[in-house]
Structure 1
Amino acid sequence: MGAHLALVTIFVTLLLHCCNIDYGAYVTAHLSSDLKGFQFFIEKTNDFFNNKKNDLLSNTFRGSPSNRTSSTTTTTTTTTTSTTLMSSSILEIARRPETIEWIKSIRREIHEYPELAYEEFETNRLIRRELDRMGVGYRSPMAGTGIRASVGTGGPPFVGVRADMDALPIQELAEWEHKSKVAGKMHACGHDAHVAMLLGAAKILKNREHHLKGTVVLLFQPAEEAGIGAKRMIEDGALEDVEAIFAAHVSHQHPTSVIGSRSGPLLAGCGFFRAVITRREESSASHTTPHVDTILAASAAVISLQNIVSREANPLDSQVVSVASFNGGGNDIDMADPKTVVLGGTFRAFSNASIHQIRRRIEEVIVEQASVYRCTATVDFFEKKQPIYPPTVNDEQMYEHVKKVALDLLGPNNFNEVPPMMGAEDFSFYSEVVPASAFFYIGTRNETLGSTHSGHSPYFMIDENALPVGAAVHAAIAERYLNEHG
């Protein structure tokens, strides 16, 4: 009996070695006190040899084309097994009770003390505190309050994962134990969850650092909502050596933990404008001043702006021009025609060519319509302070990478291909520098918990059960990328 056990042990060890299976990861993922994992392994081993024994003999004694095909099949089988073990191990770490409680506590601490763009000093301290506890190295500050951390070998390849940190100037109206304690500020877009998930990924990756075949770069970015934090992070070297980058956003449109994404354009490019229409002061020979109505001039400009999309754009090329504010400067008592009227709005499209064409036409329409009504106009697109956001376009291969990871990790019922949306994201600035990029959603919708409100709503809530899943997805995307490109 002892001799038989010794032979089985030697056989299993040699097979694990030949198949390039990490024994430690296998034990973590499958073995248990009742030896179910060992039984699972023996069953899989029997299947493997029953199906492949003839090809294995051919590979051993001959070097024919069929031999090479069999070798490829064996390699594919080994890779699939290795990927399955990796996914199981990552999920096991993410779903430990202590991991779940820790990641929720991180999110709640950030949620209670929200900070606006470039004010994320306490959030920065919290992140550095947790990275120090993990033994994860980092560079800080970047872009004022941002952080670049790294886990792995310290060498190539380098894959990036980004989380944004800033809150919004919104008074939270959702009542729960960890409601914002800062008046007029709230994490109404889930960036607190993004930070918690990326810290969770850091913990998982640090736990599995000996498996990493390269370096994972973790970017904690300020000012996504306002201030183009991504652009400043890039200027401070956040993307140094990074060859692929990924990011996620919580979504109330998808059930908890369901991943959603698409290849190609996902989010629109976006710009903002502010136009000032001013009355010309003209005099006739008789010193009478012609009546000039700035309200009428501005109204004509608003109507004409709508024609840019309805009459000039390709109907199959989705575009938006929206006037969101109109200020004539008067009130109910003062009925005099104002000297100036100020318009403000936004414009969006799914290609850089379309977004810049819209920008040009907005300026032409406002200036020329104002002239018709004997007014002058200036249009400011804020390009010095806030450049136009490019569209967020997912690279096809990186989208497929996210999809494969989600399917392997969570199963076919937990991935959806989603339509493009007119929202905008400054992740697009990373994508311009690193085209091998993909952005995806993680669902947090749970009607029972009230997690049904859109981002930027004062009633915004998330289902925190998505947090460990998001951490696992981040970690698996990064580790698998390194496995495939290292």
Structure 2
Amino acid sequence: MSCSFKCFHFPIIIFMLHVFTTTQISSSTDDSSFNNFLDSAKSSEVFDWMINIRRKIHENPELGYQEFETSELIRSELDKMGIPYKHPVAITGVIGFIGTGSSPFVAIRADMDALPMQEMVEWEHKSKVAGKMHACGHDAHVTMVLGAAKILKQHEKEIQGTVVLVFQPAEEGGGGAKKILDTGALENVTAIFGLHIAPDLPIGEVASKSGPILAGSGFFEAKISGKGGHAAIPQQSIDPILAASNVILSLQHLVSREADPLDSQVVTIGKCQGGSAYNVIPDSVTIGGTFRAFSKQSFNQLKQRIEQVIIGQAAVQRCNATVDFLDEVKPFYPPTINNGDLHEHFVNVAVNMLGINKVESAMSPFMGAEDFSFYQEVIPGYFFFLGMKNAEHERFVPSLHSPYLKINEDGLPYGAALHASLAASYLLKHQQDIVPGVERKYRDEL
């Protein structure tokens, strides 16, 4: 995910009213044996095991579709637990199964890839690979789904259906979720849950909302071509730097003057390259950036206008421009939109486990993007944020995608327990969906 997390807490009275007016807290569908999942995750047996796994993955980060060692570690742990799985899925992905092997099927997902970033935190388990780092917490995501698997395996006889473990490659721009779906590996899954660590949210707290929670995102790169020459004789050149400057300024007007102020959108230029000497006008300038919106309509409108503005403004300055939206290598991510029914389920489970004052159920959406949204386009899905704030009282809390990111491993049991409880209680609740007399075993697609 490509944005730091900010959670805005509402006053507790308003929050409590929201929870009790939108969701009836009830444990009538929860099996009592699932209520001790957090205690199980906090036990030294599970907790120490999770810390060891997380640190191994952190020391050996791998970029998207290159997560071969991470995948091998996952499969090794699943083998030790006696959990069957399918591999490879989408190159490095692993799909595991716990339960009866029959419907209903519910999935919990972890992304595996790291970032091309040099870690700047000096500690015993710092990344051993130069220029690569788990700066977005995917090492913790994998660990928590494995932790959930360990807990669920211990309760497998009580699981009323099948929990599908999704270990997915290439969330960071590679669209690994889409490739997982394209394999048909989740064909019979009726719900999927995912989480993301939040380094500025306290341990033991979670935050989410129903509806749009993260934006759809895309990237673009444009080459603006003019005619190079000496800076002292500008009339004999066609200046692409001047054209690029006008393009960049005009792109900012798309949000400030064309978008509905109540419809959040972003256009950001993060790349501008051109020229190498103080006294030479270059032949061309390359700019690039990202655009984001919470609806497909707004997203597509931004895409269309970005291309029009770049080409039109370049022409005003007598330059030519080409625009590449890079969608073949960096697929557009849809908005992340949480299912309303699953939101109620999440609030029930989280409040019962953590307490009402630890669950923010109406967080403000923000402009980060997640390829979990690909799952939500075809499967009812739910995504939430898990507190991983460092125990140290630091004035500056490093954001996601920071080389200084540190996470608090005390948060691992909460993620593992929530994954396990969300999945197990969902299956218990949806047993009535099974057609009597029809038994469905593992299929090749699963």
TM-score range, shorter chain: 0.7 to 0.9
1:323 to 269, 274, 277: 269
State how 1:100-111 maps to structure 2 within 5 Å: 100-111=47-58
Tell me the equivalent position of 2:335: 391
2:137 to 190, 195, 200: 190
CA distance in 1, matches of 2:39, 2:245: 61
Tell me the equivalent position of 2:321: 377
Indicate if the aligned counterparts of 2:203 and 2:387 stay in contact, CA closer than 8 A.
yes
Helix, strand or coil for the counterpart of 1:265?
A: strand
Tell me the equivalent position of 2:13: none
* Gaps in structure 2 of 5+ consecutive residues: 1-23, 229-234, 432-446
- Displacement, 1:238? 2.7
- Please provide the CA RMSD for this pair: 1.8
Tell me the equivalent position of 1:10: none
CA distance in 1, matches of 2:132, 2:341: 39
* Mapped pair 1:452 → 2:436: no
Helix, strand or coil for the counterpart of 2:415?
A: helix
Letter in 1 for 2:249: I
Tell me the equivalent position of 1:235: 182
CA distance in 1, matches of 2:131, 2:311: 37
Higher relative contact order (CA 8 A, sep 6+): 2
Indicate if the aligned counterparts of 2:216 and 2:336 stay in contact, CA closer than 8 A.
yes
Tell me the equivalent position of 1:465: 410
2:241 to 295, 304, 312: 295
Letter in 1 for 2:247: A
TM-score, normalized by length of structure 1? 0.80
- Displacement, 1:340? 0.9
Shift in CA distance, 290/178, structure 1 to aligned 2, threshold 3 Å:
closer
2:293 to 330, 335, 349: 349
TM-score, normalized by length of structure 2? 0.86
Structure with max Cα Rg:
1
Deviations 1:320-355 (A, max 9, x none): 0111111123233xx221111111011001011101
CA distance in 1, matches of 2:277, 2:299: 36
Helix, strand or coil for the counterpart of 2:322?
A: strand
CA distance in 2, matches of 1:302, 1:402: 42
CA distance in 1, matches of 2:164, 2:344: 21
Tell me the equivalent position of 1:359: 303
Tell me the equivalent position of 1:67: none
Deviates most, 301-310 or 92-101:
92-101
Helix, strand or coil for the counterpart of 1:254?
A: coil
Indicate if the aligned counterparts of 1:280 and 1:374 stay in contact, CA closer than 8 A.
no
CA distance in 1, matches of 2:175, 2:277: 35
CA distance in 1, matches of 2:393, 2:189: 39
State how 1:121-270 maps to structure 2 within 5 Å: 121-270=68-217
- Displacement, 1:291? 3.8
- Displacement, 1:146? 0.5
Letter in 1 for 2:425: R
CA distance in 2, matches of 1:215, 1:302: 51
- Displacement, 1:447? 4.2
- How many residues get paired? 400
Deviates most, 272-281 or 442-451:
442-451
Helix, strand or coil for the counterpart of 2:30?
A: helix
Indicate if the aligned counterparts of 2:61 and 2:134 stay in contact, CA closer than 8 A.
yes
Letter in 1 for 2:117: I
2:349 to 367, 382, 405: 405
Tell me the equivalent position of 1:314: 260
Letter in 2 for 1:347: F
CA distance in 2, matches of 1:325, 1:452: 26
CA distance in 1, matches of 2:146, 2:37: 14
2:38 to 81, 84, 91: 91
Deviations 1:160-183 (A, max 9, x none): 110000111111111222111111
Helix, strand or coil for the counterpart of 1:448?
A: coil
* Mapped pair 1:422 → 2:359: no
* Gaps in structure 1 of 5+ consecutive residues: 1-75, 282-288
Indicate if the aligned counterparts of 2:227 and 2:237 stay in contact, CA closer than 8 A.
no
Shift in CA distance, 342/120, structure 1 to aligned 2, threshold 3 Å:
same
Percent identity between the aligned chains?
Answer: 53
Indicate if the aligned counterparts of 1:131 and 1:137 stay in contact, CA closer than 8 A.
yes
- Displacement, 1:89? 2.7
Deviations 1:116-137 (A, max 9, x none): 1111111111100000011100
CA distance in 2, matches of 1:209, 1:129: 19
Indicate if the aligned counterparts of 1:84 and 1:408 stay in contact, CA closer than 8 A.
no
CA distance in 2, matches of 1:342, 1:461: 34
Letter in 2 for 1:407: V
